[in-house]
Amino acid sequence: MRMSRDHSVPNSSATLAKGSLGSLHYLRHYIAPHRLMVVCALLALLVTSSSVLGLGYALRTLVDEGIARGDRALLDRSFLLLFAVILLLAGTTYARYFLVSWIGERVVAQMRRDIYHHLLHLDACFFETHRTGELLSRITTDTTLIQAVVGSSVSVALRNILLLCGGLIMLFSTSIELTAYVLLIVPLVVTPIIIIGKKVRALSRATQDKIADLNVHAEETIYAIQTIQAFTLEDRHEQQFHDHVMASLTTARARIAMRAQLTALVITLVLGAIATVLWIGGQNVLAGTMSAGELSSFVFYAVVVAGSTGAISEVIGDMQRAAGAVERLAEIKQTESTLLRTIPPIPLPDPPLGTLRFEDVQFFYPSRPDIPALNHISFTVERGETVAIVGASGSGKSTLFRMLLRYYDPASGRILCNDTPLHHYDIGALRQRMAVVSQDPMIFSASARANIALGTPHATMDAIRQAAHDAEILEFIEQLPQGFESYLGEKGIRLSGGQKQRISIARAIIRAPDLLLLDEATSALDSENERKVQEALTRVMQERTTLVIAHRLATVRNADKILVMHNGAIDAVGTHDELFASHELYHTLAQQQFKAS
């Protein structure tokens, strides 16, 4: 048996390691499955590059043998050769473009699936320390950057590297002297390009971060639009958005300016160099040491070499941006859940979950590491018992549930089920035995049926109907235009608070869990509906262990015991009558909070 805990603290994209093109190496896992296509694409690429180089040769033949010698038949043949090379170039370019783009699409589709899968299994701490917009831009923007590189830039770079090398070889074979000049000039051309390229990359990353800020802001606005309108915050939000846009524009401007400088520099240096070489070459032709065809093809190859240098420096920028994106994605993929895990897990008890015990549990939320949200909590719940938890707002009641659901692990102390710490069980299997009705029920953008059967995808329609009936929501659903198939809107926007709560109660009822966790499950209901739902819940609670965060007198009265929470600690344990008589805090709470229904 092995226990693992990964202490890596997830950090934001702003603190990413200094990445280099080397991080593109990470993509090999994704490219490997498409080996065959990669090989074909490489072949196509090889042929394209050779045909471009062949064009120079055909040109030289055309000039020297055809035109200069005045041989018409040779001219025709040279022309046919030229044309054949052009056709070959077109065909292989088609194949290369198709294959490479298709590989790009498939690689990115797989990456998106992978990241999504990984995100689904990360712990609560991760999501508290990462902004939603930032994570979304990882899945969309970053993967798009990578797609551009895999689906184009890499092949452009490769093609141009081939052209560069081939071009240089052809230059050498044409004139060593002239090529020596070219090579002397190369370092002078390349060094400034690399330096400015680095700056462009830093600015690209800054732009990405600014765009992420902008996304976060827009998303929050759309999510909270009604609150914004109710408090007439439109102007303020608009101003804030404006500031974000301006900030991203400022960085974008700096990046564009730098990028433009880079391009201008490339043109000046590279074309300047060619002009110089041409000038020297022209003198050679005048001196008779070089033929006109040789100079033509030399110029052609020099242009190819210059063009490919320019293209390489262009795509290096893209590749560097993609390298940054790869790093950010790899960072997420390397973040492991910090929850304790036991390998292999112990099978859960069958029959169901028995005694639950908290032993001196302390817990701190990651964002508030100094103040314990749970402070030395100890209590036991026997199988089948109903335990009510009461306490002022913020006293840690919902946190207790979050610990049971294993969103977090305790900082110290243990939570045991059947005398075995929870982390010895498989987390999914454990959660399957529970059903929770939370304070803020989540409704998915799906039908009423799908929302009720959320935790029990194979439930029969009869069971769904029965659960809806027990949760007092059947009548409402049947009146909807499409009954159980009616769409409930994003985040349940088409439902009232009480309706959402009843859907989530139906969801818990149909799951028939061993452990039922009710967090103020009936707070949004009117007293008539609350009474009915309470009856249904009472039936469900009878057969199983229940922890209920209680706000009703009837619930606390019927509970086997009551935990009174205060500032993250358990202040007292007892029955309603005991506590009401002797515990001052409980007495006050009972008088202020409990609705007598």
Ligand X SMILES: Nc1ncnc2c1ncn2[C@@H]1O[C@H](COP(=O)(O)OP(=O)(O)OP(=O)(O)O)[C@@H](O)[C@H]1O
User: Helices marked H in 138-233 — which ranges?
Assistant: 143-148, 154-174, 176-223, 225-230
Strand order through the sheet with 356-363: 374-381, 356-363, 412-417, 420-421
In the complex with ligand X, the residue whose CB is nearer, 67 or 569, is 569
* Tokens 């400015």, residue located: 196
Minimum CB–partner distance for residue 405 and ligand X (Å) = 12
Residue 35 binding result from ligand X, Mg ion, none, given CB thresholds of 5 to 8 Å by partner type: none
Residue 128 binding result from Mg ion, ligand X, none, given CB thresholds of 5 to 8 Å by partner type: ligand X
Residue 406 binding result from Mg ion, ligand X, none, given CB thresholds of 5 to 8 Å by partner type: none
Tokens of 344: 């292999």
Give the pairing type, strands 386-391 and 561-566.
parallel
In the complex with ligand X, the residue whose CB is nearer, 112 or 397, is 397
Given candidates 66, 396, 441, 492, which one binds ligand X under the rule CB under 6 A? 396
Answer yes or no whether residue 439 interacts with ligand X by CB under 6 A: yes
**What is the C-alpha separation between 282 and 288, in angstroms, rounded?**
10
In the complex with ligand X, the residue whose CB is nearer, 306 or 377, is 377
Tell me the DSSP string of 52-97: HHHHHHHHHHIIIIIIITT-HHHHHHHHHHHHHHHHHHHHHHHHHH
Site stretch for Mg ion (CB under 5 A), options 132-140, 229-237, 256-264, 391-399: 391-399
Minimum CB–partner distance for residue 155 and ligand X (Å) = 46
Residue 373 binding result from ligand X, Mg ion, none, given CB thresholds of 5 to 8 Å by partner type: ligand X
Minimum CB–partner distance for residue 374 and ligand X (Å) = 8
In the complex with Mg ion, the residue whose CB is nearer, 97 or 365, is 365
Given candidates 397, 424, 500, 511, which one binds ligand X under the rule CB under 6 A? 397
Answer yes or no whether residue 592 interacts with ligand X by CB under 6 A: no
**What is the C-alpha separation between 592 and 89, in angstroms, rounded?**
84
In the complex with ligand X, the residue whose CB is nearer, 386 or 399, is 399
Given candidates 373, 415, 435, 563, which one binds ligand X under the rule CB under 6 A? 373
Answer yes or no whether residue 391 interacts with ligand X by CB under 6 A: yes
Return the C-alpha torsion angle 471, 477, 483, 487, nearest 10.
-100
In the complex with Mg ion, the residue whose CB is nearer, 313 or 398, is 398
* Tokens 């040789």, residue located: 294
* Tokens 């923007």, residue located: 141
Torsion-angle region of 229 (φ positive above 0: left; ψ -120 to 50: alpha; else: beta): alpha
**What is the C-alpha separation between 381 and 83, in angstroms, rounded?**
86
3-state percent helix, strand, coil for the chain, nearest multiple of 5: 65, 10, 20
Minimum CB–partner distance for residue 353 and ligand X (Å) = 22
**What is the C-alpha separation between 369 and 396, in angstroms, rounded?**
15
* Tokens 């045991």, residue located: 416
**What is the C-alpha separation between 119 and 106, in angstroms, rounded?**
20
Answer yes or no whether residue 370 interacts with ligand X by CB under 6 A: no
Q: Which residues from 329-368 bind ligand X, rule CB under 6 A?
A: 365, 367-368
In the complex with ligand X, the residue whose CB is nearer, 21 or 572, is 572
**How many residues form the binding site for Mg ion (CB under 5 A)?**
1
Strand positions, DSSP E, 276-423: 341-343, 356-363, 374-381, 386-391, 412-417, 420-421
Minimum CB–partner distance for residue 474 and Mg ion (Å) = 28
Answer yes or no whether residue 399 interacts with Mg ion by CB under 5 A: no
Site stretch for Mg ion (CB under 5 A), options 231-239, 392-400, 450-458, 567-575: 392-400
Name the DSSP letter for residue 363. Answer: E
Answer yes or no whether residue 398 interacts with ligand X by CB under 6 A: yes
Answer yes or no whether residue 437 interacts with ligand X by CB under 6 A: no
Amino acid 431 reads: R
What is the sign, positive or negative, of the torsion defined by CA atoms of 57, 62, 66, 67? negative
Closest residue to Mg ion, judged by C-beta, is 398
**How many residues form the binding site for ligand X (CB under 6 A)?**
14
Given candidates 248, 335, 398, 522, which one binds Mg ion under the rule CB under 5 A? 398
Residue 156 binding result from Mg ion, ligand X, none, given CB thresholds of 5 to 8 Å by partner type: none
H/E element, 562: strand 561-566
Minimum CB–partner distance for residue 123 and ligand X (Å) = 12
How many other C-beta atoms can be found within 10 angstroms of the C-beta atom of residue 475? 9
**What is the C-alpha separation between 502 and 16, in angstroms, rounded?**
45
Residue 365 binding result from Mg ion, ligand X, none, given CB thresholds of 5 to 8 Å by partner type: ligand X
Answer yes or no whether residue 501 interacts with Mg ion by CB under 5 A: no
Minimum CB–partner distance for residue 439 and Mg ion (Å) = 5
In the complex with ligand X, the residue whose CB is nearer, 188 or 371, is 371
Answer yes or no whether residue 394 interacts with ligand X by CB under 6 A: yes
Q: Which residues from 333-362 bind Mg ion, rule CB under 5 A?
A: none
Q: Which residues from 211-270 bind ligand X, rule CB under 6 A?
A: none
Q: Which residues from 120-139 bind ligand X, rule CB under 6 A?
A: 128
Residue 499 binding result from ligand X, Mg ion, none, given CB thresholds of 5 to 8 Å by partner type: none
Tell me, rounded to whole angstroms, the distance of Cα 427 from its chain centroid.
Answer: 23
Residues 6+ apart with CB under 8 A from 517: 401, 404, 405, 434, 435, 436, 437, 546, 547, 548
In the complex with Mg ion, the residue whose CB is nearer, 398 or 546, is 398
Give the pairing type, strands 545-549 and 386-391.
parallel
Residues forming the site for Mg ion (CB under 5 A): 398
Chain residues that interact with ligand X, rule: CB under 6 A: 128, 365, 367-368, 373, 391, 393-399, 439
